[in-house]
Structure 1
Amino acid sequence: MSLKTTGLLFLLTTGITLAQTPTGSPSQPVPAQSGQSAPAAIGDASAKGNAKITGYAIDSTMTKAVEFANVALYETTSGKLVDGAVADEKGKFTLTKLAPGSYKLLISFLGYTSKTVDNIVLSKGQTKDIGVIRLSASTRTLGEVTVAGKKALVEDKVDRLIYNADNDVAAKGGDATDILKKVPMLSVDPTGNVSLQGSTSVRVLINNKPSSILAGNLADALRQIPADLIKTVEVITSPSAKYDAEGSGGIINIITKKNTLQGLHLDVDGGTGNRNSTLGLNGSFRKGKLGLNLNGNGRVIYNPSASDLDQTTFLAAGATPVQTHQRIDAFDKGTFAQYALGLDYDLAKNQSLTGGVRLGIRNLSMDQHQLTNTLSSEQIATPSKRDVNTQNLSNSIDVNIDYLHTYEGSSKELSFSTQYSRSNLTNNFGANNLDALGLIKTRQQNLNDATNQEFILQADYQTPVSKLLQVEFGAKNTIRRVTSDYNYLLAGPTSDYAVDPSRPSGLLNYDQNIAAAYLSTTFTLPGGVVIKPGFRYEYTSIQAQTGGSTGVPTDISIPNYGRLLPSINIGKKVGESSSLKFGYTRRIRRPFIDDLNPNFNTANPLNIRVGNPYLKPETVDRIEIGYSTQVKKTYLNFSLYTRLNTDDIQSISQRSDTLVGAVVTRVTNLGKEYNYGTNLFATINITPRWSVNANLDIMYRFIQGLALDINGLSTTISNQGFRWGGRMDTQMQFDKGWVLQANIGYRGKDIALQGYRIGFAQYSLGARKSFTNKRGSIGIVAENFLTRGMGFTSVLNSAQFNQDFRQYIYNSSVRATFSYKFGSLNGAKVKKNKSLSDEN
């Protein structure tokens, strides 16, 4: 039996009477009384006419239509039901042959709260478009049967998982990392680094677009995005040919909330706690064909941290090793802000223009006190003291304009998209080297200014060839320019800074052009099988220069390269509630700004980092098999995958040739890496008000590459082992608007080429109370509250050195949150928007 037939039967069998309803707003269908006969036919009004009413029934989340919703039309004065209809699969409904008069419309569907539209006045021959009617999900008890209208936490598509973040209580007042910690297949470590099924090479998009906000340090950039602004997170492990090939581990697409309501509207969200405070404003205005959205969010952090480093450096065969111990006490201060203005305008019935401007600010400052003891030739040197202030500052802007042309009665679409992005990055440090009495001996500065600019132009076209086949193709060109200008300065206790002759200034100009074209098809076969094969070709040309900032730059010879990148996704529905999927994709990872920057960063003279402008792209072949099912109140998703990396981009550490006891970490193309893993995710709706979610992942990693032996000669080394992790979340809803949420998770030991990092645990507890008018809420969230914070250890072992690094993150926090909505809102017509990298 079809859903449409079911909707018609529901309209009849629930006993909607066509005789009489009480005068006033018909809040619910009136049950037919015993012995009362039903009308002969819906729509058999006493007076016929030629007027018409049309509209759409849409889920209040504005993400999908309410398919086959029930529509009933009443006369205003008498309350008599004169007509009825069932919406189609797009939520559209039409009532025809109506006489002039005044009417009320009731829209209802199982699992939603019914909604009434009053004062519909029709004149002769008039067509009345009432736009979109937004239905809110509800929970209703019918006898012993409970129907829950709550949206699923996880939605499973043929090439991705969608995590609905709207109801995450514990993330209120937090940032994007607080949401990503709970998404299936993702892991976030205590410093904010994100990995997807064990890979840190992840492409992150915001609303289907690349953003300059994410071009630098990803962990810091994610702190700019407030958790309250995130609507869904899409985890795309097997991207189709339409997506850029960057990101060997896959794609994380963060969808932010966008208001499409008629009228003027403003949301205020905020929170304050012992580790951070937030404030956000989200407003919208819509009238007719024009819509505007404006949001601004700010976040400040204030957090102490500390670390201990024990290191043994082997200088040469037979030489006395150098023993070093370092203690660092630090305090981090940061301000993160993001502002966005969006505009959309209907040029015509099937044509729309959208545009937007997004600004980002990231100012992170760290004050460190470093105390270092060095033991060499069995004598303890005088402890060295060093005060360091590190400034990681950036500002970014993204500007986009998109055009979309749809074709009525068809899924055919044509779109053009363009985007300009620029980010300015400053990564400076200033250090005071102190004597035994704490007085300044010398001063040092490293000034490093970098920029990243991108211009993107893209065209996409999709068209149905038949009922079973759809074709889409397009082209994209990305012009990228990365620059870095750095220098080193020295000074005495009071003298002016001068250029450090031992470390000359440097310059990097890195121009990259990526031309891409793709072809993707979607076959819908009998038996619920969907096959989506595709090919993408990308050609990358590079021009790069290095040199002193006062001299003539020198060209770097970096070969151009082209890549053919096939992909295929296959999905099959098994029964009514299960599905199988298979995915294969080839992807590449191009180096990031931090990977390329040759600046020799000595903020910590024992742990030095330097980039590599000669890096080649990393190539990844990935295969995944997945199964998902709904068994009564339990949703299960299980996957097996393998990921094979060549020209693997990794960090490799070796002893310094100039600084005794120091280790230098460089980014290089190590060799190869093989990963084999499995992931299991489950969500159980124990009751309509109580749900439990659990995630377990296990991965085996083999990694091989080149390192230096004690004499400085290259040798092949490898490492391998298992890593596992899991977490559990629960959420309970109570009367009077109360919601309680708890979370606990553990991440096991992680394998690297030269060592490993031990595991860590995190947990949180949150509660929220919604106001009776549903316009606002207050809450409290506590994280890692049983201790001051956590510590985790990284161990590196090589022929040249052994290192034990223990980092202490004082992230025990408690924060209070609040939100409130201002404004008077009505439904607005929903329309599709096309954007860069948008996947249909």
Structure 2
Amino acid sequence: MKNYYKYLTSCVLFLFILFAVPLMGQQTTPFAVKGIIADSLTKKNIEFATISILDNNQKVVALTYSDENGLFKSADITTGQYLLNLSFVGYGQKNLPFGISEEKPVFEFGKIFLSPGVNELNTVTIKGSKQLVEQQPGMLIYNAEKDISNNGGTAADVLRKAPILNVDAAGNVTMRGNSNLRILINGKYSGQMARSPGDALNMMPAGSIKSVEVITSPSARYDAEGAAGVINIITKKGHKSVSGTLELVGGNLEQAINPRLSINRDKWNINSTLHIHRFRSKELTSLERNTLQNGQATGRLLQETISDNTNPHSSGDVQIEFTPDSLNLFNFSVNGWLGRWPQDKEQTNRRFSETGVLIDEYFQNAITKAPSKGIDLNLGYTRKFRRPGEELYLMVQHNRSVDDFNYNSLQTSIEKIPIYRELNNNRTNNNEWTFQSDYILPLAESGKHALESGIKAILRSGGTVYEVQESIDDQTDVTVPVPSRSDIFDFNQNVLAAYSQIKLKWNSGWALQTGARMEGTFLEGKQRNPGTSFKNNFWNFVPSATLFRKINANNNLTLSYTKRISRPSLWDLNPNTNSQDPNNISVGNPGLRPEEVNQAEFTYALQTDTDLFMNFSIFGRKTNNSIETIVKIGEDGVATSTMQNLASNAQYGINFSTSAALLPNWKINSNANIRYAKYRSGALDISNDGMAWGINMNSSWKLRNNYSVQFYGDYDARSVTLQGNESSWFYYSFSAKKEIPAKKLTISFTTVSPFGSYLSRNEVVRAYDFESTFRNRRLMRSFRLSINWEFGGLLKNTNTRKINNDDQKNVKTGG
């Protein structure tokens, strides 16, 4: 408890300094510009339009947005002549000159009308930038394209900088200590993310990402899956006739080629990306496990493992949009990927008696081939009606993937004499169809009140074929099948869902969004050889509600509640036993049921017209029927890991996020969280609880002659798990960038952990009959140089609705 107060005091002191410095540095000015933005046809006020104020050199000196009433104001100007630039997706830009003087300190534009249009007017080039972190109703937005340290990196590097999120050295993402979240790409489901989020993030170049939306309390429109929340990655798209980039990346741990091309022809918009990437992953691990009986040691196992692998992979994406007129939009996209993810290992094993005498020692070499490939196809249609705000969406999606996990494990004595060989060939396939329809009905002419409803069907079929062979009598060159460990597992999962929600906004600044979702899940599984099968059918009622209060243009409050579920995926259910390491085996559990989560959150947000942003939230989350990895020790001393519904957990905490300009060319953004976690399992007679906290900071400086430098650091303190704890870890990087505007070239250099080769983290697992400590050291010291050439003008995103199958728990391990 003393450590908790020490950590809490440190965080509060840090955040006070962080917030107080920019607040004290702000100056009040009487000069301002005001106005209201509205649609020229419907006369409806436009919310979240971008308002840029440019000087005579067309450089942005202030940036703001219109509120829910279309009202905007900016006080971050002095006397002089300016140009007001107005822009919003689906409307042509508008530029209006104005002047500010001592005699006329406030310039009133009154009502300004924007005209709807498919193509935007190329009337001005915006040289300013948005804030790195922004607040919008229901989400935080991280504008990744403004962060120089992302150049040449991957999506995992981008998510490390986003508010509320944490990404460890392996690319595993958590939100407030929970890894059960959904990651979408442009609002749609990704087969890559469903297979393995860590691998998928490494297959996506950072340069293709425009922004990241962090949604902590998803509405009823989202699938009920994703207890922690939803992450939506928005990619860049072109709006010029021809535009794109070519990025080359070279470094000691990774190399990549990332071309992007966009073509815009009248009613057609085509965007394509390609990612060819190769990276090295090296780990040094050790495991020390003591077996116990009545609290007394009965034996000890020591393992030391070296894993050094190269992972080549590639992915590509093509998106086509056709707009025959202002009321209809057709979109089609295809995304494919393939790669190899080997997990070769060299391991030394030593077993000791209860008195410390060495009783067994051998070496083990495992060669693992894990190729994967897949494709996502999307087809959508959007219909806008004459009535403002009335829209219909129709979508269909098809996903197909194949994953292999084949290992060849050989054991030898200390004299290098072969002892035993095991082969395990496992192929998993997944085939999926999704059909979705959404309809928005405005309930008032102003469009402030609306009813949204939708239906969805997900039809999944898949399975895994696995065959195990082993050597007999030390004849490792000859292997024979093991029928008891070989089988064909078929799996079907169908989900039917319907939802409805109402959105209400009032001129007083209050807004309410509430709704509910009903989901039916129908599971079937069959193991062919023993002829056993199972069926699980269940319905889930998922309510959600968000109450929003806009105090003024800069301050707002949000109170939200949501219920979420987490279904087991095919990889959780796969009954194939992975005994690549015979002392530590893992197996899926076909009998898993979904877990249920209730979550509440209260948020205060401050966002000024200057570069100050602050978000403070208090949250609570209770998980029932929790899916947890359980480790048990057999009589032979072998540890078996499997997932079971044997626990519940609760987490409560606070989260701070801020972004500020300490000086005109010095900006920082930071995130800090403190949470209390409590785990309980009556079936296993286990309880564990404790505090956890973490903090990160991103600081960038703009220098002369188009140079920029940046530092990023992330520290996570010790955290508890159901059966033990995980130690603290620290990640940091330095970046520098040189822009050559005349040639549209950007040269970036990034180094990660230059003062320490490896990032270390330990995991402790305890039970009544054993205690183990797993120590992991991952090679992190890296140097990366990237060259980015841009052609054809600015890049921006479009606003279309896509399918987002966020309904499965993402846990993917080999086999």
Query: TM-score, normalization: structure 1?
Result: 0.81
Q: Report Cα offsets for 1:535-563 as digits up to 9, x if no partner.
A: 11111111211243xxx64221x331111
- 8 Å CA contact retained: 2:764, 2:773: yes
- 8 Å CA contact retained: 1:224, 1:362: no
- 8 Å CA contact retained: 1:622, 1:644: yes
- 8 Å CA contact retained: 1:216, 1:592: no
- CA separation in 1, counterparts of 2:302 and 2:632? 18
- 8 Å CA contact retained: 2:311, 2:341: yes
Matched, 1:133 2:126: no
**Counterpart of 1:368?**
345
Written as runs of structure 1 = structure 2, the 5 A alignment for 1:599-638 is 599-630=576-607, 633-638=611-616
Written as runs of structure 1 = structure 2, the 5 A alignment for 1:48-87 is 69-70=95-96
**Counterpart of 1:486?**
466
From 673, 681, 687, the equivalent of 1:718 is 687
- 8 Å CA contact retained: 1:197, 1:249: yes
- CA separation in 1, counterparts of 2:694 and 2:794? 45
From 718, 738, 757, the equivalent of 1:769 is 738
Q: Report Cα offsets for 1:102-142 as digits up to 9, x if no partner.
A: xxxxxxxxxxxxxxxxxxxxxxxxxxx9743364433xxxx
Q: Report Cα offsets for 1:691-712 as digits up to 9, x if no partner.
A: 0111110010001115xxxxxx
**Counterpart of 2:482?**
500
- CA separation in 2, counterparts of 1:764 and 1:331? 22
Question: Which protein is bigger by CA-based radius of gyration?
Answer: 1
- 8 Å CA contact retained: 2:491, 2:570: no
- 8 Å CA contact retained: 1:69, 1:87: no
- CA separation in 2, counterparts of 1:754 and 1:320? 19
Matched, 1:334 2:311: yes
- 8 Å CA contact retained: 1:677, 1:700: yes
Secondary structure, aligned partner of 1:594:
helix
Matched, 1:686 2:662: yes
- 8 Å CA contact retained: 1:267, 1:820: yes
Superposed displacement of residue 215, structure 1? 1.7
**Counterpart of 1:661?**
637
Change (3 A) 1:791 1:64: farther
**Alignment-mate amino acid for residue 680 of structure 2:** Q
**Counterpart of 2:261?**
283
- CA separation in 1, counterparts of 2:634 and 2:197? 28
Matched, 1:652 2:630: yes
**Counterpart of 2:801?**
834
From 445, 459, 463, the equivalent of 2:437 is 459
**Counterpart of 2:157?**
178
**Counterpart of 2:810?**
none
- 8 Å CA contact retained: 1:57, 1:92: no
From 378, 398, 404, the equivalent of 1:400 is 378
Written as runs of structure 1 = structure 2, the 5 A alignment for 1:501-520 is 503-520=484-501
- CA separation in 1, counterparts of 2:208 and 2:362? 46
Change (3 A) 1:2 1:698: same
From 760, 764, 777, the equivalent of 1:795 is 764
Superposed displacement of residue 653, structure 1? 0.6
Runs of 5+ in structure 1 lacking a partner? 8-25, 30-55, 73-84, 95-128, 139-148, 707-713
Query: TM-score, normalization: structure 2?
Result: 0.84
Change (3 A) 1:827 1:245: closer
Change (3 A) 1:494 1:380: closer
Superposed displacement of residue 831, structure 1? 6.5
Written as runs of structure 1 = structure 2, the 5 A alignment for 1:149-228 is 149-228=128-207
- CA separation in 1, counterparts of 2:804 and 2:37? 38
- CA separation in 2, counterparts of 1:66 and 1:335? 43
Matched, 1:312 2:290: yes
- CA separation in 1, counterparts of 2:37 and 2:342? 61
The higher relative CO (CA closer than 8 Å, separation ≥ 6) is in 2
From 678, 681, 705, the equivalent of 2:681 is 705
**Counterpart of 1:444?**
422
**Counterpart of 2:209?**
230
Superposed displacement of residue 498, structure 1? 1.8
- CA separation in 2, counterparts of 1:380 and 1:204? 48
- The number of aligned residues is 719
Superposed displacement of residue 163, structure 1? 1.0
Secondary structure, aligned partner of 1:265:
strand
Q: Report Cα offsets for 1:59-79 as digits up to 9, x if no partner.
A: 5xx86868863179xxxxxxx
Q: Report Cα offsets for 1:294-333 as digits up to 9, x if no partner.
A: 110021112321111110123x559861211111112021
**Counterpart of 1:521?**
502
Runs of 5+ in structure 2 lacking a partner? 1-31, 39-55, 60-83, 99-107, 807-815
Change (3 A) 1:656 1:63: farther
**Counterpart of 1:640?**
618
**Alignment-mate amino acid for residue 313 of structure 2:** F
- CA separation in 2, counterparts of 1:28 and 1:380? 76
**Counterpart of 2:455?**
475
Q: Report Cα offsets for 1:759-783 as digits up to 9, x if no partner.
A: 0001000011111326111111000
- CA separation in 1, counterparts of 2:348 and 2:157? 33
- CA separation in 2, counterparts of 1:66 and 1:367? 56
Superposed displacement of residue 157, structure 1? 2.0
Matched, 1:268 2:246: yes
Secondary structure, aligned partner of 2:138:
coil
Superposed displacement of residue 261, structure 1? 2.0
- 8 Å CA contact retained: 1:241, 1:518: yes
**Counterpart of 2:227?**
248
- CA separation in 1, counterparts of 2:681 and 2:36? 63
**Counterpart of 2:24?**
none
**Alignment-mate amino acid for residue 168 of structure 1:** D
- CA separation in 2, counterparts of 1:826 and 1:742? 27
- 8 Å CA contact retained: 1:68, 1:88: no
- 8 Å CA contact retained: 1:200, 1:249: yes
- 8 Å CA contact retained: 1:622, 1:643: yes
**Alignment-mate amino acid for residue 132 of structure 1:** L
- CA separation in 2, counterparts of 1:134 and 1:435? 75
